[in-house]
């Protein structure tokens, strides 16, 4: 028996409504083209098959109200539902919620879980929450955390909340603070690292970031929280700008790499921390403060996991 060919969609012309203004074209298409694999969305963007106002655009193009987006005919695989996320993982993420209202979810994301699927991952936090909250049709990540970073992650349940928080993030309306365990004795006098960051994509598809004068301006403020002799320091990091891998690259640039960082770390230091039971990246988004759309201030904190806590206890001993 022959398999029937996959159905092909026709050309689509999508007019951008005002509420989508400022959204990246890749994120817009992923929400508009339900059931279309993410890999296909990125492929048609990469090949220049998506046109905006009859012109080619890049995947990072930000939409404007009234833009006309032309989507080429798509050969669709049978539209299977996304593979369901395992019940144990759903329960773990549900238990990680530290704040929820009608427009926003804030969770304490465990280390090792990606914020979204792709690159060989069948699911991430956002796919899991679409399963956990099927009635919230506009669920979107407000920002991202690296897969190996734990801590506070915001998910908007409404487009209006997403717009409000993106605007706040572009200004200084969101205060995000991280804890990082770094190599050596961080000087008390070193209160900030200002170094431009440039993104490079390697052939493998892996993304690396380096300090480079041609990069984008980046500033992180630091404060010492606890010292472990000359061996390690627990610091608080406040990223004033929001560049990819910013804290990880800035700590290394300062000569104090983060424990357990496979990309930018110090392998000898990381190995010694692993021997104490610390088999993770020691970067945790622990505090978040912002103002909700109705003017109410919101402040949340997220505790570290047992592995982090026990490693620091052993270090202190």
- pLDDT of 118 > 80? The answer is no
- Model pTM? 0.74
* CA separation, residue 145 to residues 151, 213, 214, 257 (Å): 8, 25, 24, 18
For residue 300, the Cα-to-chain-centroid distance in whole angstroms is 18
- pLDDT of 80 > 50? The answer is no
- pLDDT of 81 > 60? The answer is no
Burial class (CB in 10 A: 0-12, 13-18, 19+), 308: buried
For residue 5, the Cα-to-chain-centroid distance in whole angstroms is 37
- pLDDT of 207 > 70? The answer is yes
User: pLDDT tens, 124-149?
Assistant: 899 899 889 988 888 999 999 999 99
- pLDDT of 181 > 80? The answer is yes
pLDDT-derived band at 163 (thresholds 50, 70, 90) equals: very high
Residues sharing a CB contact under 8 Å with residue 171, sequence separation 6 or more, in sequence order: none
- pLDDT of 158 > 90? The answer is yes
Residues sharing a CB contact under 8 Å with residue 192, sequence separation 6 or more, in sequence order: 219, 220, 221, 222
Task: Give CA–CA dist 166/159, Å, rounded.
Answer: 11
Task: Give CA–CA dist 62/174, Å, rounded.
Answer: 22
Written as one string, the DSSP assignment of 164-202 is: HHHHHHHTT-EEEEEEEEEES---TT--EEE--EEEEE-
Active site residue 146: yes
Q: At 260, which helix (H) or strand (E)?
A: none
Where is pLDDT greater, at 18 or 299?
Answer: 299
Task: Give CA–CA dist 77/307, Å, rounded.
Answer: 42
User: pLDDT tens, 221-267?
Assistant: 999 999 999 999 999 999 999 899 999 999 999 999 999 999 999 99
Mean pLDDT of the region 166-171: 90
Q: In what order do the strands lie in the sheet with 12-15?
A: 12-15, 68-71, 51-52, 55-56
Within 10 A of 57 (CB to CB), how many other CB atoms are there? 17
DSSP-derived 3-state class of residue 59: coil
User: pLDDT tens, 280-302?
Assistant: 999 999 999 999 999 999 999 99
Task: Give CA–CA dist 30/126, Å, rounded.
Answer: 12
Q: Which of 186, 171, 175, 162 is nearest to 21 (CA)?
A: 162
Mean pLDDT of the region 95-112: 96
Q: Checking DSSP bridges between strand 97-100 and strand 55-56, what pairing results, if any?
A: unpaired
pLDDT at 45: 87
Mean pLDDT of the region 201-223: 87
Where is pLDDT greater, at 78 or 248?
Answer: 248
Where is pLDDT greater, at 313 or 201?
Answer: 313
pLDDT-derived band at 6 (thresholds 50, 70, 90) equals: very low
Burial class (CB in 10 A: 0-12, 13-18, 19+), 200: exposed
pLDDT-derived band at 4 (thresholds 50, 70, 90) equals: very low
Task: Give CA–CA dist 314/283, Å, rounded.
Answer: 18
Mean pLDDT for the chain overall: 89
Task: Give CA–CA dist 219/143, Å, rounded.
Answer: 18
Set out the domains of the chain in order of their start, with CATH numbers: 12-71 (3.10.290.10), 87-162 (3.30.2350.10), 172-316 (3.30.2350.10)
Q: Which of 124, 127, 137, 132 is nearest to 97 (CA)?
A: 132
Q: Which residue among the candidates 101, 135, 146, 261 is catalytic per the annotation?
A: 146
Task: Give CA–CA dist 160/293, Å, rounded.
Answer: 9
Residues sharing a CB contact under 8 Å with residue 108, sequence separation 6 or more, in sequence order: 96, 97, 98, 150, 151, 152, 153, 302, 303
Q: At 250, which helix (H) or strand (E)?
A: helix 246-253
């Amino acid at each position: 028996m022959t398999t029937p060919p996959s159905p092909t969609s026709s050309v689509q012309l999508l007019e951008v409504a005002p509420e989508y203004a400022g959204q990246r074209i890749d994120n817009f298409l992923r929400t508009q083209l339900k059931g279309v694999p993410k890999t296909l969305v990125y492929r048609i963007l990469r090949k220049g098959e998506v046109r905006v106002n009859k012109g080619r655009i890049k995947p990072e193009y930000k939409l404007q109200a009234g833009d006309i987006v032309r989507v080429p005919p798509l050969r669709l695989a049978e539209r299977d539902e996304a593979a369901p996320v395992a019940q144990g993982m759903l329960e773990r993420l549900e238990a990680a919620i530290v704040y929820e209202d009608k427009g926003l979810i804030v969770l304490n994301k465990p280390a090792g879980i990606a914020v979204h699927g792709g690159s060989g991952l069948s699911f991430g936090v956002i796919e899991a929450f679409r399963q956990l909250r099927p009635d919230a049709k506009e669920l979107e990540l407000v920002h991202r955390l690296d897969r190996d970073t734990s801590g506070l992650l915001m998910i908007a349940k409404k487009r209006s909340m997403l717009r409000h928080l993106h605007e706040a993030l572009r200004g200084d309306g969101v205060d995000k603070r991280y804890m990082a365990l770094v190599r050596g004795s961080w000087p008390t006098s070193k209160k900030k690292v200002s170094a431009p960051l440039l993104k490079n994509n390697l052939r493998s598809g892996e993304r690396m970031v380096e300090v480079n004068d041609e990069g984008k301006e980046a500033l992180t403020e630091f404060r010492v929280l606890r010292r472990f002799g000359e061996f390690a320091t627990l610091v608080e990091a406040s990223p004033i700008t929001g560049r990819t891998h910013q804290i990880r690259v800035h700590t290394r640039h300062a000569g104090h790499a983060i424990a357990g960082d496979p990309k930018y770390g110090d392998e000898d230091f990381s190995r010694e921390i692993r021997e104490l039971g610390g088999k993770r990246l020691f970067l945790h988004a622990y505090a978040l403060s912002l103002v909700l759309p109705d003017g109410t201030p919101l402040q949340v904190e997220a505790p570290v996991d047992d592995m982090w806590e026990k490693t620091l206890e052993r270090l202190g001993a």
